[in-house]
Structure 1
């Protein structure tokens, strides 16, 4: 059982919804990023999604693209991202961390070496947005053999014919993308999301967590109420980009987490 599995089992036993936060590793610099990540669990974050900076982030909207560019400009790399995770794990051995990014840096490292290093650093799961289920032998199956969850995205365009393929080797949780398009592009609507979550849950026992388009505590509560929890990324990254201090960003995160936990 991974930390992710254990966390969702505990939340289910407590009758609570999950709050997942996304932040970009190294944005705006290594030390600030580490301080922010270290503060997330106390702000109510159940699972940390950590972005791996990449030069061509095709699924990300402007807010997260700019965060990745800031991190790259300050020298953030895959190795430094793993350093950040190791530093976080010195004080926190319980909060799950999901590394979210693109396949190119992993491919360049080689899959066996990357998985060994990621597991040793304290990463619990992966979201790799540019590897479809047809490429499961490439990373998904080796990752799960190494003890890492491989989390897959389902979207409004994932029809009933495609959904079983998407769910086939997914573990940890299913990430339902509430809108069609890039991150930060529109607002999620519970009336649209609820039936889609039910459709997915009819085919899997995994928790379904909804992301994209959630910016307020009220939205977090509303969306979490029709799913097993919610993810917020662009809104948090945007707060940091606006010049807010780490403590101010964490206060914003706490509001979102409280909203999700009220659901």
Structure 2
């Protein structure tokens, strides 16, 4: 085997081998977050006059929200692809959807884990300046859920379905930018609020749909079991009276 072929096989093993995907994707998520943070600081100091007038904590949050926005765009695109376009969860494959995963799906979740780790560390470091306890709890729960799906390969489809909710994050961050830049009375601020409202409305319908699909059948099953127990007790009483 030539040196080029050996290098290709090694690269294929390191990048595409499932056991090592988390060890590549998580650091990639951390490094990407740091890169976005530093680039935002550099670009904002040159092209946004209001940036230099911000306090140190406001500049930290400004850059942090840029990091959050880029992650939201990335994970939303990945989630939409995995849920609606990828054939990983189509009927052409056998086996439960719950246990289906691929290198790409695992890598995407790993990058998200890297982001959540970075953002959580920043929130704790500057606590409570850029986020209170609700942010800490949200990030811890998100980190645990996404990391579990990434490491075990279980429930990745449902994890991506939930991550579609990151669609609203860029709009929320833009609203903060407009407010911080003194544009709260601008038309852009008004349009942003309307877009966020309808985006949340659509997402809540999506969540309600998931509720109907996954929760309601369980509730109905419990109710049916309860009614069955009552019918069984009634039958026992009827038989006891006959005796």
- In the superposition, the TM-score normalised over structure 1's length comes to 0.24
Structure with the bigger percentage of helix: 2
Structure showing greater radius of gyration is: 2
More strand by share: 1
Instruction: Please report the TM-score for the alignment, with normalisation by the length of structure 2.
Output: 0.25
